[in-house]
Homo-oligomer: A and B are copies of this chain.
């Protein structure tokens, strides 16, 4: 898809990311750096842990989901970063071999009063595994350029 500016989004509009699969190697590599708990880095010990097996770090899942959203290309020229995330929930474990697809819904679009070149895009992101079970959800916000402020619009 091509870049969209603030005016190009509509409340209620939905998008679906490409599917992305977690493998044990990537789960362990991420967690060794950022979340080295036994159930994220040691497949053998994890069998006796709270998830009865290796699971992806929630920080890994949320970042990988955001990557899939970026890969749609909608914000490629228009993103100005984001102020934060609300109600991030890790609903179910993500295990090696699980394939996630994320649904994005536009919830609110607001022009900035103080900065006429941009606005604020609010959207939900819910990731579902290959059994259509939700595994992660969050409310995300991105600052997005306005079309009329950009010559390439």
Q: So how many copies of this chain end up in the complex?
A: 2
Do A35 and B66 touch across chains, with their CB atoms under 8 A apart?
yes
Do B58 and A82 touch across chains, with their CB atoms under 8 A apart?
yes
* Residue A9, interface by CB 8 Å: no
Known contacts A35-B63, A35-B66; A90 and B83 CB within 8 A of each other: yes
Do B84 and A90 touch across chains, with their CB atoms under 8 A apart?
yes
CB contacts (< 8 Å) of A75 on chain B: these are: 37
Count of chain A residues with a beta carbon within 8 Å of a chain B beta carbon: 33
A75 closest partner in B (C-beta):
B37
Task: For residue A17, give the distance in angstroms from its CB to the closest CB of chain B.
Answer: 14
Do B83 and A36 touch across chains, with their CB atoms under 8 A apart?
no
- Which residues of A from 52 to 108 have beta carbons under 8 Å from B? 55, 57-60, 62-64, 66-67, 70, 75, 79-90
Chain B CB within 10 A, most for which of A36, A70, A82, A84: A84
* Residue A51, interface by CB 8 Å: yes
CB contacts (< 8 Å) of A64 on chain B: these are: 34
Task: For residue A140, give the distance in angstroms from its CB to the closest CB of chain B.
Answer: 10
Known contacts A34-B67, A59-B62, A79-B37; A86 and B86 CB within 8 A of each other: yes
18 pairs across A/B with beta carbons < 8 Å?
A: A34-B66, A35-B70, A36-B70, A37-B75, A50-B81, A58-B81, A58-B82, A58-B84, A59-B59, A59-B62, A59-B63, A60-B63, A81-B90, A83-B89, A84-B88, A85-B85, A86-B88, A88-B88
